[in-house]
């Protein structure tokens, strides 16, 4: 899906991302873009999946093109939907039925 923009504030919809944890010297071998990487250092004796580890990296991955839809139809927040509706009323828009 292409990026959508809020009809009220113009903010763009969020990227559709995936998350992946790598341990110690593991290297990301996928073909997605790494848009965020946070490191974590563990104390001695930490085991994950039966394996002793000392560091991990939490990756946020994006395919470079897919975005989430806006959360509230044409708007990013309910507040934006409300502001837009109030502006429509002030501009003279009314329900027909």
Of 61 and 75, CB closest to Zn ion: 75
Distance of closest approach, residue 77 Cβ to Zn ion, in angstroms: 5
Distance of closest approach, residue 16 Cβ to Zn ion, in angstroms: 18
CA 43 to centroid of chain Cα atoms: 30
Of 2 and 97, CB closest to Zn ion: 2
Say if residues 68 and 11 touch (Cβ distance below 8 Å).
no
Of 8 and 59, CB closest to Zn ion: 8
Q: Summarize as ranges the residues that interact with Zn ion (CB under 5 A).
A: 6, 8-9, 11, 76, 80
Distance of closest approach, residue 15 Cβ to Zn ion, in angstroms: 17
Q: For residues 3-24, b (16+ Cβ closer than 10 Å) or e, as one string? A: ebebebeeeebebebeeeebbe
């Amino acid at each position: 899906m292409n990026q959508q923009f809020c009809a009220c504030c113009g903010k763009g919809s969020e990227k559709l991302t995936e998350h992946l944890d790598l341990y110690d010297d593991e290297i990301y071998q996928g073909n997605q873009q790494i848009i965020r990487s946070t490191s974590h250092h563990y104390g001695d004796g930490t085991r994950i999946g039966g394996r002793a580890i000392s560091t991990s990296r939490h990756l946020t991955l994006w395919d470079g093109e897919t975005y989430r839809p806006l959360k509230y139809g044409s708007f990013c927040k309910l507040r934006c939907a409300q502001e837009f509706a109030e502006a429509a009323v002030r501009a003279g828009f009314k329900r027909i039925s």
